[in-house]
């Protein structure tokens, strides 16, 4: 019979093999051009190593349909994550400034996140977006 001590030791030994990755972003429903808005990011546990390198932030008109591609539109900021700011499971907030010359209308705030996962060394980009209305 396996002891509780052995089970706990195995579970704790596996902890360094798991990491968190960004799964979602959320913004306020509306803002004005030039304002700073909080973007709430959610990170979840991934069983293998997962390194989010950074976030390229953009804003694009809601009418743009990029299909499966991650298009950021107008690049508005960059947030470095690797190696010192790797996300932990849960939520955290990053403040973004909306460009002051953005016209009123419906937009998407886009987060393009290059990442590396697993032992393969495969690097890809995941994208998340949130709707925001820019008011006059």
- pLDDT tens digits along 49-87: 899 999 999 999 999 999 999 999 999 999 999 999 999
In a domain, residue 5? The reply is: no
Q: What is the pLDDT of residue 120?
A: 84
Q: What is the pLDDT of residue 19?
A: 86
Domain range spanning residue 90? 17-135
The reported pTM is: 0.85
User: How many domains is the chain partitioned into structurally?
Assistant: 1
User: What is the rounded distance in angstroms from the CA atom of residue 56 to the CA atom of residue 47?
Assistant: 25
| Residue that has been written with the tokens 């460009």 in this structure | 99
Domain membership of residue 61 (yes or no) is yes
Q: Which residues of the chain fall short of a pLDDT of 70?
A: 1-18
Q: How many angstroms separate the CA atoms of 15 and 72, rounded?
A: 34
Q: Do the domain assignments include residue 26?
A: yes
Q: What is the pLDDT of residue 2?
A: 60
**36 domain-assigned:** yes
Cα(first)–Cα(last) distance of the chain, in Å? 69
Q: Is residue 97 assigned to a domain?
A: yes
Q: What is the CATH number of the domain that holds 57?
A: 2.60.40.2550
In this structure, is residue 112 part of a structural domain? yes
Kind plus residue range of the DSSP H or E element containing 5: helix 4-14
In a domain, 9, yes or no: no
- Evaluate whether residue 8 is within a structural domain: no
């Amino acid at each position: 019979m396996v002891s509780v001590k052995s089970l706990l030791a195995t579970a704790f030994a596996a902890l360094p093999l798991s990491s968190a990755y960004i799964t979602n972003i959320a913004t306020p429903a509306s803002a004005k051009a030039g304002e700073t808005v909080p973007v709430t990011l959610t990170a979840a546990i991934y069983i293998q190593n997962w390194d989010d390198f950074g976030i390229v932030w953009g804003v694009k008109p809601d009418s743009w349909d990029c299909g499966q591609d991650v298009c950021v539109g107008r690049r508005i900021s960059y947030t470095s994550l690797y190696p010192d700011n790797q996300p932990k499971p849960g939520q955290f907030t990053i403040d973004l400034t909306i460009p002051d010359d953005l016209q009123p209308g419906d937009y998407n705030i886009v987060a393009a996140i290059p990442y590396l996962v697993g032992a393969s060394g495969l690097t890809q980009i995941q994208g998340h977006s949130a709707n925001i209305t820019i008011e006059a």
